[in-house]
Structure 1
Amino acid sequence: MSMERERTSAETGRRVLAFLPLTVAAALAIVLAWGLTQDPSNLPSTLIGKVVPDFDLPPVQGRLLGLSSGDLKGEVSLVNVFASWCVACREEHSLFMKLAAQGTVPLHGLNYKDQPDDAAQWLDSLGDPYTRTGADISGHVAIDWGVYGVPETFVVDADGLIAYKHIGPVNEEVLAKTILPLVESLRQRAADRDKREAGQ
């Protein structure tokens, strides 16, 4: 009787072990399939609603104005993380040139892990849409911002709080339907607050 129980128990254990890899593979396939359906530009950022990390970067070679956390207070602005070696950065660059020409919102550049000569040459040849451009040669500032890769674009409110993060190249649709409406909303919110404070 006892040997029969042991035999049954051993058979059950072997069956469980036989199905375990299959179960793990099925679970992994479900997780991977779910991941493929997600929009990579919608990765959450733990910095949304928080003050921009404290930093002070020198300008990109040949530029006069670097970029610091203090530059991102007082008005709503965009911060674009880019690099000369980034193919996707070229996709959005002409759109940023148009945006800069319109003067709709200040656009600052955070040049990520680039060789100084390459960054300067890239901006000289394609145009420089940035009000200020900080050279983050080591990549430490971008890490503090939670950057996964380039390009990434942030909307920063007038108090220096990160309001939005877009991963990947910005296109006309993202700019028109998400970024610019948010910029206007943040400006209106700041104006309303200033009126309330002035009335007190």
Structure 2
Amino acid sequence: MLFVPVIVFAVLAAFFWRGLSLDPTAMPSALVGKPMPQFELPALEQNRGTISSTELVGQPYLLNVWATWCPTCKAEHPFLVDLAESGVNIIGVYYRDDTSKADGWLTNLGNPYLMNIVDEDGKLGIDLGVFGTPETYFVDAAGVIRYKHVGLISQKNWQEELGPIYESIKG
């Protein structure tokens, strides 16, 4: 009986030690390795009509979930513009936001997106398992999600981690 508190303490200490080694930003996705969810939603660009998931198959791309109310989206936006100018294909998912604000945002900050999917009610976001913005999905040419990144994309994490992942899905 004398050693029970010591054993309990040792077990709790082991759990806490393990918890300290985990990455709190890691958000695994059940969709990695699976096809993009099927959808047909309005395009932000008025002349496009709708965009369906079948239109996106054939080229690798980043699917970037963003909104004008998101301060981190604003912080990552200039780097996304740089990526697009360097040839990275980026599709936007304009998530749960007033579409009237998007035009000013893209005009003032630049438009890195090949096209923007309007997900006003968040249904595509639910199908993707979006927790918040920004989130970026790396999708291969066959339409399979290969990686999910939660949070800001920056020069540093692009060079160290994300860029090589994108290069690998380009084949």
TM-score range, shorter chain: 0.7 to 0.9
Would you say the 8 A contact 1:59–1:67 is kept in 2?
A: yes
2:22 and 2:71 map into 1 onto residues whose CA distance is 22
1:162-181 equivalences under 5 Å are 162-181=145-164
* Partner in structure 2 of residue 123 of structure 1: 106
Residues 66 and 90 of structure 1: is their aligned pair in 2 closer, same or farther, counting only changes over 3 Å? farther
Percent of matched pairs sharing the same residue: 38
- By how many angstroms is 1:177 displaced? 2.4
User: Which one of the candidate residues 146, 161, 164 is aligned to 2:129?
Assistant: 146
Aligned pair 1:77/2:72, yes or no?
no
Residues 61 and 81 of structure 1: is their aligned pair in 2 closer, same or farther, counting only changes over 3 Å? same
Would you say the 8 A contact 2:45–2:115 is kept in 1?
A: no
User: Which one of the candidate residues 46, 49, 63 is aligned to 2:30?
Assistant: 46
Q: Summarize deviations over 1:78-105 as a string: whole Å, max 9, x none.
A: 01000000000011100001111112x2
Q: CA RMSD in A?
A: 2.7
More helix as a share of residues: 1
* Partner in structure 2 of residue 160 of structure 1: 143
- By how many angstroms is 1:61 displaced? 5.2
Would you say the 8 A contact 1:82–1:111 is kept in 2?
A: yes
* Partner in structure 2 of residue 56 of structure 1: 40
Structure with the greater alpha carbon radius of gyration: 1
Unaligned runs of 5+ in 2: none
More strand as a share of residues: 2
1:65 and 1:178 map into 2 onto residues whose CA distance is 35
Instruction: Identify the structure with bigger relative contact order (alpha carbons < 8 Å, sequence gap 6+).
Output: 2
Would you say the 8 A contact 1:81–1:109 is kept in 2?
A: yes
1:109 and 1:63 map into 2 onto residues whose CA distance is 16
- By how many angstroms is 1:42 displaced? 1.6
Size of the aligned set, in residue pairs, is: 166
1:45 and 1:57 map into 2 onto residues whose CA distance is 22
Amino acid at match of 1:140: K
1:63 and 1:173 map into 2 onto residues whose CA distance is 36
- By how many angstroms is 1:187 displaced? 2.3
2:69 and 2:85 map into 1 onto residues whose CA distance is 24
